Structure formats: C-alpha cells, structure tokens
Chain A
Amino acid sequence: MSAEDNFTIGLEEAHSWLGKKRHEVVGEFDVERGYIWSACAAVQNGNPLYWDEELAQQLTNGATAPLTLLSAWFRPHYWMPNRDTIPLPWQTHFDLKTTLALPEAVATDSEVAFGEPVRPGDRISCSETLQSLSEVKKTKLGAGRFWVIDTVCHNQQEAWVGTETMTGFGYRSQNVS
C-alpha cells in the first residue's frame, strides 16, 4: 500500500509540530474604538459597556472591546505595501492540509475562552499550537484525520486575553467506502 493510500504522507513532519508554538503573529495595528463601535453596529449590540463611558469606567476600569472581536485584532490587512501574500489565519490548518496531502478540510468545532479584556491601545499577539492529530477516521465526507489547533492570544503586557481552539478535519473524499 502506498503512503497516499495509508495516509502516511507527511505524517512524521506533522507529528513534529505537536505541542510546539508556530506562526507567531503580532497584530498590525493597535486596538481602537472605531472598530469596536463598527463591530457593535454590525450586530446592533447596545451593551452599554461599549457605549456608556461612565459605566465602562465603573465596571471595567475604562473602555474594552467586545470579547468575540478577539480574532479581528490579529487579522492581517487586506493589502499593504511591499507584501506579496496575505498571511492566513489558522495557518497550521492549511499547513496540515498541504503536508498530509489532504485536499479538503473543514472546521468542525470551535471553542473560545476569554481572559483579560482587550482595551483600546492594546496590541494583540498570538501563536498557534497543534494539540492533537488523530488516527485515520472515516466520515460521511471522506477519510482523513482530525486535528485540534490552539491559537493563544496575549496583549503587549503578556497578559493572556484568550484562546481559540479549533477542531479541523482534513480528508480525501474519494476514499469513502
């Protein structure tokens, strides 16, 4: 049986990533209130924590960003001078697809835990860690492997602000029996 048939292409390399920080990224801009209000407006979020400065001062010691906006703070600009390619979020997910020769992949589950609130002026950084890589599994989509990737985020003071955990499934659809 070939390496492709038994899903062992790139397996040793992928296993070498387990538990190691990869793709460390520093946000390309400071957290700012214009984005916070645009994000609230997009979902008509009237939480006074983001609109009433007196309340924000009392509860959170000043302005904070909506928690679920966390990933926006380290998303790259769509374009900037002297850059030919746009870095991808969840780069490890795409690296696994390529390395394991699994042409299709989907995110099946996502979990986010929040730490210190993100505040205007913060600069958020993150790194990805491959936490697990399954044996070959067969699903209705096809045969492939599940993986779990953590993206751990900190502010400029190294305080933990959140962790996104994504479960992905990379597969070949033609291998369904």
Chain B
Amino acid sequence: MKDATANYQCLTIQQVCAGEQLPELQHEVTATSVILGALASRDWRPMHHDRDFAQQRNRTRDIFMNTPNQAAWLERYITDWAGPTARIGRYKFRMGDSICPGDTMVFSGSVEGIETDEQSCCWVNLSIALCVNGDPKTRFTARVALPKDLKDNPWARTGTQWQP
C-alpha cells in the first residue's frame, strides 16, 4: 500500500534535540484575519469585529484577536514544523497584551525537553512565544507527541495508550 506520509515532512523524535529552535512564523495581522478567526471559532462577541466597541468598552487600540484564534495559530505553528504525524497532547498559555490589526505577529519557540512515557509514546515539550515588535504578547507551552520512527503513528493511540 502507498505511504501517504511520504509526500510530507514528518518529524520523528530521533530528528529533534532539546534546545533546538523552531523556525519563526511571521504574519501581518489585518481586520480580516481577526474577524475570520473569530467567526471560524464561533465567537460572535463585538470586540472581535467592531472597532468602536473594542475601543470604547475594552479600551483597546482596535478589534483584537480572540483566544481560540491564537490557539489555532499556535496549532498551525507547531504542525508547520513537525508535520501531520505530530499530535498535540496539551497546551497552556498566558495572554498579556492584545493583538490588533496592523501588528506583525511573530511566533518563535524551542524544544525544552524530550521524554517517553510508560506507554512508549514519545513527547516533545515546547516553549513558544507570540511577539509583536519583540514584545511577548502570549506565552505558550505545548506537549506534542511525535512518532518514535517512520512506522510509528501517535494518532493511532487510544484509551490508556494516550496520556496527554
């Protein structure tokens, strides 16, 4: 049977080192990207699409990116690097300042550690920052399962085999 993963870069745990830096991801934020992300996550609150409301009620510069949209960018950032066989187990974040149209978001990250759990699932622990003009706006940590080798598939784990 043809291996569909052969068409894509899929990192295995053997290809990752603690301390490794992830490639940066840069994106110019527009009103469209804020609103698209809010609607895609079914967040209808006006501070994510109505500038007057955001400025007057939230005292922000403009409409601002909602939390699930930031999480979606995080997911993209991780899988751009690790490929489709990577499976996110958990992530944690702390938000600081708002991200508004006109900002240039820059995601950067590093591998903080590598471990194998008692079910032989291989994990990388990532530390990721979302910055604008060099200032961290949101800090994330993420625990991501990577294949042990080219035959392994973290997505195949169910029940007690999956301990995120």
Contacts and interface: CB of A to CB of B under 8 A. Distances in A.
Interface stretch (B41-49, B108-116, B119-127, B128-136): B41-49
Given A48-B84, A112-B91, A58 B3 contact: yes
A75 B67 contact: no
Contacts of B89: 113-114
Interface stretch (A10-18, A61-69, A131-139): A61-69
Interface string B1-40: 0111101100000000000000000010000010011011
27 contacts: A39-B40, A42-B39, A42-B72, A43-B76, A45-B76, A47-B76, A47-B79, A48-B8, A48-B84, A57-B4, A58-B3, A58-B4, A59-B84, A66-B72, A66-B75, A67-B75, A68-B88, A71-B41, A75-B42, A78-B44, A107-B95, A111-B93, A113-B164, A114-B87, A114-B88, A115-B164, A117-B155
Interface in A65-85: 66-69, 71-72, 75, 78
B92 interface: yes
B153 interface: yes
Given A45-B79, A117-B155, A55 B41 contact: no
B61 interface: no
A111 B79 CA distance: 19
B44 A72 contact: no
A69 B39 CA distance: 11
Interface residues of B, number: 43
B75 A75 contact: no
Given A108-B94, A115-B164, A117-B155, A39 B8 contact: no
A44 interface: yes
Contact of A69 (B5, B33, B36, B41): B41
Of listed B7, B36, B71, residue having the most chain A CB within 10 A: B71
Contacts of B155: 59-60, 117
- A interface, how many residues as a size bin? 35 or more
Interface of B: 2-5, 7-8, 27, 33, 36-37, 39-44, 67-69, 71-76, 79-80, 84-85, 87-95, 153, 155, 158, 162, 164
Contacts of A116: 158
Interface in A94-112: 107-112
Nearest to A28: B42
B84 A44 contact: no
A110 B67 contact: yes
Nearest to A73: B42
B40 A35 contact: yes
Nearest to A113: B90
Given A43-B73, A55-B5, A60-B155, 7 more contacts: A68-B88, A69-B40, A69-B68, A71-B68, A72-B68, A75-B42, A113-B90
Given A52-B4, A55-B8, A112 B90 contact: yes
Given A66-B75, A112-B90, A113-B164, A43 B84 contact: no
Contacts of B164: 113-115
A83 to B, nearest CB: 14
